[in-house]
Amino acid sequence: MMEKRPVAATGMAISPLGLGTVKFGRNQGVKYPQGFELPSDREVRELLALAFDLGINLLDTAPAYGLSEERIGKLLPTSRHEWVIETKVGEHFRNGESSFDFSAAGTRLSVENSLRLLKTDYLDMVLIHSDGDDVRILREEAVLDTLLHMREQGWVRSVGISSKTVEGGLLAYELGCDVVMAAYNPLYTDELPVLEAAAQQGKAVLVKKAFASGHLDKFSGANPVEQALSFILAQAGATSVVLGTINPKHLRENVAVALEVLGEA
């Protein structure tokens, strides 16, 4: 069983692998090498149950992931409090196109909608779903202040950003965020300073694009999954690696590799 890791000073602890759920709800406009069908309700329920049995307690979702939040709310196995659910605000995906709203009203409405869809009265993590202009969003838009206020009120347990730049990730920590979602893998190390800052400051990082959005063929090692997870989990700042799969076999294999890498097998 994977040992849970603390999320900054929030009192929460998460598994070193998290389950990304974009494929639960959206198969348009996604950057994967192969197309896919959305899984059935039964397949989603079984995958969530498998993830839980394997020791995963972190779920990554977002309004921009189509039906993902709604399906998690409807199909989540076991008790809600046994999961750490991370969702986002700022981006919506409708009719094949993304739109962004970082206003105070838009942020509150998004959080309220996520609470309703996920059938919960609190959200464990809410990240700003950046459009790429991280610093402007954090400094000039109302979204971060709104989320920090909602954290004070207890609607949200931790706040952060799914960033696109090193500057954005570092600034988020300065401005009171608990967690940053940053891209990092053996082929892309630009955002390493965000992981290093997290380790130094006692903050959390959720690592996205660990397998280069499914492009494992670009990795040089004999076992690209092991190569990627070994590389990422060697960083003290990498709290959890979020993997987006709807394939039970891949999920089992990824967890087995992670346990080997972590010396917990």
Would residue 174 count as lying in a domain? yes
- In this predicted structure, the answer to whether residue 122 has a pLDDT above a threshold of 90 is yes
Domain total for the chain? 1
- pLDDT (0 to 100) of residue 182: 98
Would residue 1 count as lying in a domain? no
Would residue 3 count as lying in a domain? no
Would residue 17 count as lying in a domain? yes
Strand partners, 18: 242
Q: Supply 112's token pair.
A: 């309220």
Would residue 29 count as lying in a domain? yes
Would residue 63 count as lying in a domain? yes
Structural domain boundaries, residue 113: 9-259
* CATH code, 206: 3.20.20.100
Q: Please answer whether residues 207 and 231 qualify as being in contact, where contact means their C-beta atoms are separated by less than 8 angstroms.
A: no
Over residues 18-33, the mean pLDDT reads 89
Task: Map residue 210 onto helix, strand or coil.
Answer: coil
Spacing of C-alpha 72 from chain mean position:
14
pLDDT per residue as tens digits for the range 6-24: 999 999 999 999 999 999 9
Over residues 224-243, the mean pLDDT reads 96
